Amino acid sequence: QQQQQQQPEQPTKPSIIDILPRMYTTGEVHARFKEHEFRATNEFKNCQLMVTGKITAIGTVTFGKKPVVTLGIPGSAGGLKFVFEDTNYDHDKVAALNIGDSIIISGKNAQPGTFGGIFLDDSQLMSAMISKKKRQILVVNGGVYDREICRK
């Protein structure tokens, strides 16, 4: 009977998935917004985007303490601005980053900012969760970081 109780837990066990097909570049996300800002905002609503790019700025949101990491968009002055939660854990993680680092970050609800740039909430650094050799990532089955899910 104990075995039966354990079975429902099986699907929540993390699995390893290949991240390359699931990742966006900053340029791809930017292009979607340039092409049709409203559609992109709508498609990326409630969607955890995993993006790879180079850090061009590290700071805090304009009226608050939340850390923000900006990934540059090639050929554009703007950037993807990943907003982290205002916790000691996130502060330490963001403080350890350097401008010029290539990194993978995930964020939710991508939307254009008032003064340019594209903002994402609930950000997480993904690079630490990725095996460098295999380019795979440990995620809960049915991985939420997925281009297909984001397209709807």
Q: Which of 103, 53, 111, 60 is nearest to 83 (CA)?
A: 60
116: left (phi over 0), alpha (psi -120 to 50) or beta: left
Asked if 101 and 84 count as a contact pair (C-beta separation under 8 A), the reply is: no
Report pTM: 0.80
Q: Rounded distance, CA 130 to CA 19, Å?
A: 8
Pairing relation of β-strands 24-25 and 48-60? Answer: parallel
Q: Which two tokens stand for residue 112?
A: 């254009």
For 95-109, the pLDDT digits (tens) are 999 999 999 899 999
Asked if 26 and 71 count as a contact pair (C-beta separation under 8 A), the reply is: yes
- pLDDT-derived band at 10 (thresholds 50, 70, 90) equals very low
For 111-149, the pLDDT digits (tens) are 999 878 999 999 988 876 666 666 666 555 445 666 666
**pLDDT of 12 strictly over 70:** no
